[in-house]
Amino acid sequence: MSCDAPVLPLRFVQRGLSADPGPFLADQPSCRVEPLDNNYSYAFDYSSPHGILLFPTTAAPHVLLASHRGAYLPSNSSGLGTVDEENINKFFQENSAKKIGLLSQDYWVHVTDSCNLGCFYCYIPEIEKFRNDASDFMSHETAELVLQRVFEDATSRGVRRLHFKFAGGEPSLAIESIRAFCLLADRVFDPLVYHVSFGMITNGVTLPKQLIDILVTRQFNVSFSIDGVERYHDRSRHRGATKSNEGTWQTVIDNANVLQANGIAPFFLHTLTTANIEGVAELQSFLSGRNWNFRISLMRLNNRPSGDQKERFINVLAELFEKTANELPLKTRFERHLQFAEWNIRRKKTMACGSGRNYLAVDAKGGLSSCQMAATPVANLATATIGDARQTLTNSEATKYLVNPGLRTAGCSACFFKHTCAGGCPQHTANVYSTINHVSPWCEVYGSLYPIYVKAAATHLYRRLKFMQNHGKNQSP
């Protein structure tokens, strides 16, 4: 690995914006150094991302260093020393060592396929829309079976951290299923041996006290799905089948405030569509003003976006990243506040997500899938173990690339961003192209935006650094 001089921005050889994207091919080294202004530059390694390094542009024997953790370190304790290619490389290499922790496994648990809304981009094929209760939900017996299978798999593989994320449909319609699952988990997993945590993804429309009690007692992490600020959100998230029905925005925000008052910081999930894209900057300002963080995902319909759509998404999001970098309060880290797709600028990836490996999905009947978007389970836990399901995923032509991303030969394998973007949602790619061994339908959007996102994170980090230079390094922004 080598870093090039801090001169030109990234230059790419790429195909034009079209319905059939191709990989981004770079004509320069993957470790980039670029100036932020006349005084400071930043470094980022696209081949093995472990955060952003911020330092004075002119080489100096003593520098103030902003590390990938956002900490400000004097050079005489653990800084760079002389700023040159060798020391930049050394810094990234030292910080790239993985910390050894407990082996973990995540499970997305669909407790029901009923929902009280009817979003047009929902990926559940047989969802029951606009219901106020769950017509079908995970039974006590199914939950018991699922947890026993999880226990067997965790024991055999040495997994000690388990996270269960309840979803649906709308999980708040199946409160008793959630309660029973948690109580059964208490019985199955010895807290002296296993660390078990819970989460929930909800549309936020129904949050009764009995559910809040569960969330607070067990310290769930809770994510609210929203479609933008009120005028955009209520177009697609309303209580009846037509747009004239009552919108849900104010209810969602009220419920988020209730959770926050009870000690749970709400997180927001925003699916960006052609119907709400013009409101994304306003949404960011709204959430930032309440110290709420969010993640943007691009719509995952089973067709290819047009060149015009991709260009529109690139322009709006590039402007959003730059705006956020310059306006976000300094107490919040940029990439924590505004997460995008499956990106993580601190971690090298071979696939965008861990589906099929350290991430699996279970439906209300005990069917096990590689992820929540997979239409057909690969096994039913009533007759198969999780180990059996893993073997099926490994052997299947449709899913073998999930289990072993290194097998991919097309698209992403030759891309400059293969260890950063890592290909976008693999299930979305499979839904559109009938294979995971292909670039994402949003490939050109991801590749065009990644350098802009990195620079935005560096710009916000630089603002933090200047604050601390002016107010003292021990002064919190």
Spatial neighbors of 188 by CB under 8 A, at least 6 apart, are: 147, 148, 150, 151
| pLDDT over 50 at 287, yes or no | yes
What is the count of structural domains for the chain?
A: 2
State how far the Cα of 134 lies from the Cα of 319, in Å rounded to an integer.
Answer: 41
| Lowest mean pLDDT segment, chosen from 82-91, 169-178, 346-355 | 82-91
Domain that holds residue 55: 1-10+28-100
Q: What is the mean pLDDT of residues 398-423?
A: 89
| Lowest mean pLDDT segment, chosen from 145-149, 250-254, 466-470 | 466-470
Q: What sections of 375-425 are H helices per DSSP?
A: 386-395, 400-403
Selected residue with higher pLDDT from 413 and 82: 413
Cβ–Cβ < 8 Å for 88, 30: no
Per-residue confidence (pLDDT) for residue 125, from 0 to 100: 67
State how far the Cα of 332 lies from the Cα of 444, in Å rounded to an integer.
Answer: 29
State how far the Cα of 471 lies from the Cα of 475, in Å rounded to an integer.
Answer: 6
Helix (H, G, I), strand (E, B) or coil at 298: strand
Q: Is residue 417 part of a domain?
A: yes
pLDDT band at 272 (very low <50, low <70, confident <90, very high): very high
State how far the Cα of 16 lies from the Cα of 318, in Å rounded to an integer.
Answer: 18
State how far the Cα of 458 lies from the Cα of 471, in Å rounded to an integer.
Answer: 20
Residue 12: how many other CB atoms lie within 10 Å:
16
Tell the residue number behind the tokens 């810094």, with chain if given. Answer: 91
Least Cα distance to 332 among 296, 290, 297 occurs for 290
Spatial neighbors of 96 by CB under 8 A, at least 6 apart, are: 48, 50, 348
| pLDDT over 50 at 81, yes or no | no
| pLDDT over 60 at 59, yes or no | no
State how far the Cα of 319 lies from the Cα of 312, in Å rounded to an integer.
Answer: 11
State how far the Cα of 406 lies from the Cα of 346, in Å rounded to an integer.
Answer: 20
Q: Give the strand pairing for 72-74 and 64-66.
A: antiparallel
> Dihedral of CA 412/427/335/249: which sign?
positive
What's the Cα-to-Cα distance from 406 to each of 47, 401, 417, rounded to whole Å?
15, 7, 15
Per-residue confidence (pLDDT) for residue 120, from 0 to 100: 77
- In order, the DSSP letters of 152-214 are HHHHHHT--EEEEEEESS-GGGGHHHHHHHHHHHHHHS-TTT-EEEEEEEE-SS---HHHHHH
Residue 84: how many other CB atoms lie within 10 Å:
12
State how far the Cα of 466 lies from the Cα of 326, in Å rounded to an integer.
Answer: 13
| pLDDT over 60 at 4, yes or no | no
Per-residue confidence (pLDDT) for residue 473, from 0 to 100: 57
Selected residue with higher pLDDT from 409 and 241: 409
Q: Is residue 84 part of a domain?
A: yes
Per-residue confidence (pLDDT) for residue 317, from 0 to 100: 97
Task: Among 49, 68, 100, identify where a domain stops.
Answer: 100
Spatial neighbors of 27 by CB under 8 A, at least 6 apart, are: 11, 12, 13
Selected residue with higher pLDDT from 210 and 118: 210
Q: What is the mean pLDDT of residues 299-309?
A: 89
| pLDDT over 90 at 245, yes or no | no
- Share the mean pLDDT of the chain: 85
Percent of the chain having pLDDT more than 90?
61
Q: Is residue 435 part of a domain?
A: yes
> Dihedral of CA 326/308/374/279: which sign?
positive
pLDDT band at 2 (very low <50, low <70, confident <90, very high): very low
Per-residue confidence (pLDDT) for residue 215, from 0 to 100: 97
Cβ–Cβ < 8 Å for 199, 177: no
The H helix count followed by the E strand count for the chain is: 14, 17
Q: Is residue 384 part of a domain?
A: yes
State how far the Cα of 441 lies from the Cα of 310, in Å rounded to an integer.
Answer: 10
Q: Is residue 1 part of a domain?
A: yes
Q: Is residue 331 part of a domain?
A: no
Q: What is the mean pLDDT of residues 246-257?
A: 94
Task: Among 55, 84, 100, identify where a domain stops.
Answer: 100
| pLDDT over 90 at 457, yes or no | yes
Angle at 151 between CA 147 and CA 156, to 5 degrees: 150
Per-residue confidence (pLDDT) for residue 17, from 0 to 100: 66
- Residue 474, phi then psi, degrees to nearest 5: -90, 0
Per-residue confidence (pLDDT) for residue 65, from 0 to 100: 44
Residue 20: how many other CB atoms lie within 10 Å:
12
Q: Angle of helix 249-261 relative to helix 209-217, nearest 10 degrees?
A: 40
Selected residue with higher pLDDT from 208 and 71: 208
pLDDT band at 93 (very low <50, low <70, confident <90, very high): low
| pLDDT over 60 at 53, yes or no | yes
| pLDDT over 50 at 80, yes or no | no
Per-residue confidence (pLDDT) for residue 445, from 0 to 100: 94
Task: Among 85, 100, 115, identify where a domain stops.
Answer: 100
Per-residue confidence (pLDDT) for residue 82, from 0 to 100: 47
Q: Is residue 308 part of a domain?
A: no
Cβ–Cβ < 8 Å for 103, 157: yes
Q: Is residue 154 part of a domain?
A: no
Spatial neighbors of 371 by CB under 8 A, at least 6 apart, are: 108, 353, 355, 356, 359, 360, 361, 427
